[in-house]
Amino acid sequence: MIQRQTTFMSRLKQCALRLLAVALISAGATTLHAQEPFKRGLEQISFIPKGQWITGVSVNYSQSNQDNYQFLIVESINADTYSFKVSPMLMYCFKDNLAAGGKFSYTRSRSRLDQGSVILDSETTYDADHLYAITSNYYGTAAFRNYISLGSSMRFGMFNEVQLELGGGQSKITNGTGDDFTGTFERNFHLNVGLTPGFVMFLSNYSAVEVNIGVLGFGYTDTKSTTDRIYVANRKTRHANFKINLFSVSFGVVFYL
C-alpha cells in the first residue's frame, strides 16, 4: 500500500513538472513574439527624390462691370470691380518624399459703386451712391510637405502640407461726396496655421498638376480702423475648423527641377 502511494505521488510530481515546463515554454514563445516589430506591409517608393526643387506660381484676375444692371430687388446698378492675386512658391526636397520651403502671396481688390437702389416695395427704397473700397494684402507662408506614392506609380501621388502663414495689409472705404464725404482706413494683421492635403499628377518628368484643399486650420486677425481721422476702433477675430473646406480648393501647375 505504501509503495502504491509513493508511485502515485511520483507520477503526480512528474505531471506537475511537465505542465510547468510547457507553461514556461509558452510564456517564452509569447514574449519573443511580442518583441517582434509589427509590420503592416506598406511599401513606400522614392516618389520625390532628394535634391529636387519644387517651384510654381499662380495668378488670378477677375473683373466685372455693371451698367444699369437689375436683379430682383436691386435696380439701376452702375459699378465696376476687379480682384488680382499672385502667389509664387519655392520648396526643396531635403530627403526622399520630404520637402520644405515657402510661399508669398499678394492680393488686391477694388470695388466702385456709382449708383444703386434696393427696392423692397413701392414705399420702401434704399439708395446708395459714390461707394469706393480698395484692399491690399501681403502673406508669407512657411510650408512642409510629406509625399506619399499611390502604390508603385510614379505619375500619381498624394501629399500632406503643414502651413504657417503670416501677413497683413490695409484697406480704404469711402462714401459720399462734398460735405457728406466719409471714409474709413484699416490696417490688419493675419496669422493662420493649417493642414492641407492634396493630390498630384505628373504630366511629364518636370511638370505636374496639383489640387489641394484645407482640412484643419486656426486663424487670427487683428484689425485697427480709423474713421474720418477721429474715431478709432479695434476688431479681433478668431476661427478654428476641422472639416473639408470646399471654398479653399485650389489648382495649380508646379515644376519639379
Long-range residue pairs from 143-146, CB within 8 A, at least 24 positions apart, any chain: 143/89, 143/91, 143/100, 143/101, 143/102, 143/103, 144/98, 144/99, 144/100, 145/91, 145/98, 145/99, 145/100, 146/97, 146/98
Q: 241-254: per-residue pLDDT in tens? A: 776 666 666 777 78
pLDDT of res. 225: 87
pLDDT of res. 48: 84
pLDDT of res. 256: 82
Q: 47-102: per-residue pLDDT in tens? A: 788 888 988 887 777 888 877 777 677 777 778 888 888 888 899 998 888 899 99
pLDDT of res. 240: 82
Distances (CA, A) of 252 to 4, 47, 171, 215: 91, 19, 28, 18
pLDDT of res. 231: 86
Contact status, residue 76 vs residue 129, Cβ threshold 8 Å: no
pLDDT of res. 246: 62
SS3 content of the chain, % helix, strand, coil (to 5): 15, 70, 15
Q: What is the pTM (predicted TM-score) of this model?
A: 0.69
pLDDT of res. 138: 92
Q: Please, what are the averages of pLDDT over each run of 10 residues along the chain (257 residues)?
A: 49 52 49 52 74 84 78 74 86 89 90 75 70 89 88 81 90 81 87 86 83 80 86 86 68 78
CA distance 38 to 70: 67
